Structure formats: structure tokens, C-alpha cells
Amino acid sequence: MDAPDLSAVLYGSPAVRRAVTVPTVAATAGALASTAWIWGPAALGLDALTAPRRLPRLRSLSMATAWSALETVGVGLSVAQWAAGLSKAPGPSYALQRWWVRRLVDALRLLGNLQIEVEGDEVLAPGPTVMLARHASIADSLLPAWLLARRGMHPRYVLKRELLVDPCLDIVGGRVPNHFVVRNGDDTDAELAALRALSTGMSDGDAAVIFPEGTVASDERRARALASIAARDIERADRLRDLAVLLPPRHAGARALLEGSPTSDVLLVTHRGFEQLGRLADVPARLPLDRPVQVNITRVARAEVPTGDAFVPWLDACWLQLDAWVTEPATRPGEPS
């Protein structure tokens, strides 16, 4: 008998997945909290000998404790909402999402010296909008929700299916409009149809959010992406050769969201500083962050967004502009947040 496909089991059944992820995260939170009296002094002692100014082990373990605790509390609050008959109402779920995102950012501020400076915050509202955001870090997926919450906006995320292993994203994110996409799947048409449906019906309080790069950027991924594009469209590959830090944008998802919401303006969001936390393995070596995260937001009126064959060159040109902003000297800080 063939072994079961674990990914199909994990992602195919929410009940099975949550039976694994929720106890695992709760047990992690309990174990870290109950043994803090052991690992806290031990990490502090090692850090005092090797990195007394940074305390990376203590910060990383404390961050893991904070994350797992916030996940556990968030799941508990989601259960309380369900018990109170509020799980089908979007308002309480959005409120819980805002609370969770803000507390995670607070933890990064306290334990990781995260400072965020925002330029262009005033253009976030009103909606409807489609936000096209840079993806450079395991942490920057929080940024759109954090930014939009400051303006009372509701995000509709496009996220990779693998993030369903995060219990709060899985449970609370499943109660409000979001789509967890199957990357490199066989049924691309169905995925794009789901994105059109996601953005359909958005109002002045809504913003669809997508990361057109599709994954966290790296030099190796950029080279592979450009080679793949060159095999199909050498002119486009040549156009994107000047990208220094961003990946070439994947246009199909962004186009689908715009097709689903014909009146939405476009928000272009880029940042510099989050690349310090590019991978989970980077976190101990990078904490505390040694420079602020600077965010730039530009709004493009829908009348200025081309359709048809002109859309891809337009998106490429936007991406080259975002890339140039990231690589220019950081001389103009935004609004401290």
C-alpha cells in the first residue's frame, strides 16, 4: 500500500490540520513559558560571553515564546467567538486579526528593535484598492495588514497554502475573505478565478493584497526567474535585467484581482530593512535589527493602469521603480510609527 500524501492530508482537511497544528503550537507555548527560568539565564549567559550587546539567543527564544503564546491566545479567542455565535460575522474576526497583527509587531519592536517609518500612509484609504507589495522577509507579510489597520481598512490576502499551518491564519483567516493559493499547481484557471472572486464586491473599506514576486526574493531565485522568462519572452527578460533586489513580478494574479474589482486603484508598497529577516535561520544573527524598516506607498489611479497587452510592461516598469527606491540611499525617512 502506498504511503499517504501528507501534504494532501494536511491541507485537504481543516479538521485534521488543526488537530495537528493547534496542539503543537499550544504545547510549544507551554513548554517555552514553563522552562523560561532555565533557558532564560542560560541564553543570557551564553550571550554575555559571545554577543553581550545583541543578546541574540535570548531575543530569539523570547520571540518564539511571544509568537507561540500569541498564536495560542488568538486560537482561544477565536473559539470564544465561535461559542458566542460570532464566527460568521466578519467584524469580530477582523478585530481579532488586527489585535493579533498589532501584538506581533509590538513583540518585534520590544524584542527585535523593530522601527517602522512610513512614507505615503495617507494614500491607503479609501478603497477599494489592490495592493501589490514587495516580499523580502518572513515578517513582511504582516506589513500590509498592519498598515491597513491604521486606516481602518480590511485586507483580503492572497497567501501561499503552506501558511495554513499557522493556526491563527488558518482559523481566523478562513472566516474573512482570503485565498490560500496552491503554488505551481495544475489548475491555474481555477486559482485565477478564485482571485477574481476574492476582489469582487470590494467597497471603500477593502483592499486586496498580493505579493507579485510569489516568494521571498534572493539572488538565486532572481537568476532562475529571469532565465525562465528569457526562455519564453527575451524582450521582457531584457527589460527586467536591471532588477537588483526584487524578483520579476508574476502578473497573472495581480491582473485577476484587478479584473475582479474594475474600480480599484492600485497601491504599490515597497520597503527596505525587512530583508534583515529574510529567512527563519537568519533571525538569531540579525536581532536586534540595526536599522529602521522604511516603507514607501504609492497610489496609482485606476484610469492610469493599462489593460490588455500593455499591463505586463506597465507592471514591470512599476517593479523597476520599486527596486530603484529600495537600492537608493536611505536619506529621507518617513513618518515614524
Q: What is the pTM of this model?
A: 0.90
The pLDDT tens digits for 223-248 are 999 999 999 999 999 999 999 999 99
Fill in the DSSP letter of residue 107.
H
pLDDT exceeds cutoff 50 at 56: yes
Mean pLDDT in residue range 56-72: 95
Mean pLDDT in residue range 188-195: 92
Q: Give the Å distances, CA to CA, from 267 to 37, 250, 282.
A: 46, 16, 29
Predicted local confidence at residue 139, as pLDDT: 86
Question: How is 277-315 classified by DSSP, letter by letter?
Answer: G-SGGGHHHHPSPSS-EEEEEEEE-GGGS--GGGHHHHH
- What's the pLDDT band for 200 if we cut at 50, 70, 90? very high
pLDDT exceeds cutoff 80 at 185: no
Helices (H), the chain: 6-12, 14-34, 36-50, 56-83, 90-112, 142-149, 167-171, 188-199, 219-232, 234-239, 251-260, 283-286, 311-327
- Measured distance CA(39)–CA(47) in Å, rounded: 12
Q: What cell does 211 get?
A: 505579493
Predicted local confidence at residue 281, as pLDDT: 77
Predicted local confidence at residue 334, as pLDDT: 39
Predicted local confidence at residue 312, as pLDDT: 95
Indicate the range of 20-29, 115-124, 167-176, 327-336 predicted with least confidence: 327-336
Mean pLDDT in residue range 109-120: 93
- Measured distance CA(63)–CA(65) in Å, rounded: 5
Q: What domains, with CATH codes, occur in the chain?
A: 87-336 (3.40.1130)
What is the overall mean pLDDT for the chain? 90
- What's the pLDDT band for 329 if we cut at 50, 70, 90? low
The pLDDT tens digits for 303-324 are 999 999 999 999 999 999 999 9
- Measured distance CA(138)–CA(80) in Å, rounded: 29
Mean pLDDT in residue range 192-214: 95
- Three-state DSSP class for 50? helix
- What's the pLDDT band for 335 if we cut at 50, 70, 90? very low
pLDDT exceeds cutoff 70 at 150: yes
pLDDT exceeds cutoff 50 at 117: yes
The pLDDT tens digits for 269-300 are 999 988 888 777 778 878 888 889 999 999 99
